[in-house]
């Protein structure tokens, strides 16, 4: 029986924090659930600078000032999604983190394919898509030498009117086999453990699920320029190779094939 804090939306029950801690401890994760956070990445980054050890996972029932890639803001309704950050480390060098956000996206996609029975794919570098719509985003930051924070935001029961734009979706809207957040979180974190423990084959798995490779795309660069071309591959540093030139950051737009005459 759920006791303590009262919640109003029966379709969005709170996470079972104690059960999550017990279930995920054998995988090396220390799970903490907070009711509200501005940004879970900011909370975990502060803990990292204070000397927290890797393995910490902070999950917010509601995030009010989350940050996405390229300094975008990201918020979530109470208990409608999974917004959490994971403290990682160590890496051999700053370059050693280059694949971390990509592998974070892979872990989510693999977990959703297995547990939610959705045909989740990846858009470079780390967006998780279902039927061309964004379901999940990932952000990696390095708050202190030797550590990194991986932030994940996944729409679970988010309703159409709560989504930020028409190009987004949620597990509910996509017809997932489960929208139980405890189940999904356990699956994602166990998938993340697997890919991090064996990253070399995981890179090949990433490429296999990356819907960007082989497409004509428009790459919108951080400096405001855009580049059109064919996404040839993802290189050994996790960069997207577009017509022979490698790019380490940017927003990809998948272009529709041009119809013949």
State residue 259's pLDDT score: 43
DSSP, collapsed to helix, strand or coil, labels residue 162 as helix
Measure the CA dihedral 63/110/257/222, to 10°. Answer: 40
State residue 92's pLDDT score: 58
Task: List, edge to edge, every strand of the sheet that includes 133-144.
Answer: 30-37, 56-63, 81-88, 147-155, 133-144, 127-130, 121-123
- For the segment 106-160, what is each residue's pLDDT rounded down to a tens digit? 999 999 999 999 999 999 999 999 999 999 999 999 998 889 999 999 999 999 9
Tokens (6 digits) for 51: 């000397």
Segments of the chain scoring below 50 in pLDDT: 1-6, 70, 258-261
CA distances from 18 to 34, 77, 225 (A): 12, 22, 48
State residue 10's pLDDT score: 77
According to CATH, the topology of domain 17-209 is BirA Bifunctional Protein; domain 2 (3.30.930)
- For the segment 200-211, what is each residue's pLDDT rounded down to a tens digit? 999 999 999 999
Which of 24, 94, 19 has the alpha carbon at shortest distance from 56?
A: 24
Residue 144's CB: how many other CB atoms inside 10 A?
17
Question: Domain extents for the chain?
Answer: 17-209, 216-254
Token pair 């190009």 is found at 167
Segment holding 245, helix H or strand E: strand 245-247
State residue 90's pLDDT score: 81
Q: How far is the C-alpha of 8 from the C-alpha of 156, rounded, in Å?
A: 17
- Taking the whole predicted model, whether its pTM rises above 0.75 is answered as yes
> Could you tell me which residues come within 8 angstroms of residue 114 by beta carbon, excluding any fewer than 6 positions away?
187, 191
């Amino acid at each position: 029986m759920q006791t303590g804090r009262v919640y109003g939306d029966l379709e969005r029950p709170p996470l079972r924090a104690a059960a999550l801690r017990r279930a995920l401890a054998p995988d090396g994760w220390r799970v903490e659930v907070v009711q509200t956070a501005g940004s879970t990445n900011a909370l975990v980054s502060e803990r990292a600078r204070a000397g927290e050890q890797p393995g910490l996972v902070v999950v917010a029932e509601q995030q009010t000032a989350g940050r996405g890639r390229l300094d975008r803001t990201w918020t979530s309704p109470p208990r409608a999604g999974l917004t959490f950050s994971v403290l990682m480390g160590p890496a051999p060098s700053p370059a050693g983190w280059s694949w971390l956000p990509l592998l974070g996206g892979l872990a989510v996609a693999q977990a959703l394919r297995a547990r939610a029975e959705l045909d989740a794919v990846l858009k470079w570098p780390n967006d998780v898509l279902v039927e061309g719509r964004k379901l999940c985003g990932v952000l990696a930051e390095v708050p202190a030498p030797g550590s990194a924070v991986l932030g994940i935001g996944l729409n679970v029961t988010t309703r159409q009117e709560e989504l930020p734009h028409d190009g987004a979706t949620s597990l509910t809207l996509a017809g997932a086999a489960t929208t139980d957040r405890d189940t999904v979180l356990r699956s994602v974190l166990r998938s993340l453990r697997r890919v991090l423990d064996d990253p070399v084959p995981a890179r090949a798995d990433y490429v296999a699920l990356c819907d960007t490779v082989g497409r004509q795309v428009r790459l919108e660069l951080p400096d405001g320029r855009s580049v059109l071309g064919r996404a040839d591959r993802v290189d050994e540093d996790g960069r997207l190779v577009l017509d022979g030139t490698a790019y380490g950051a940017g927003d990809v737009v998948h272009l529709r094939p041009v119809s013949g005459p």
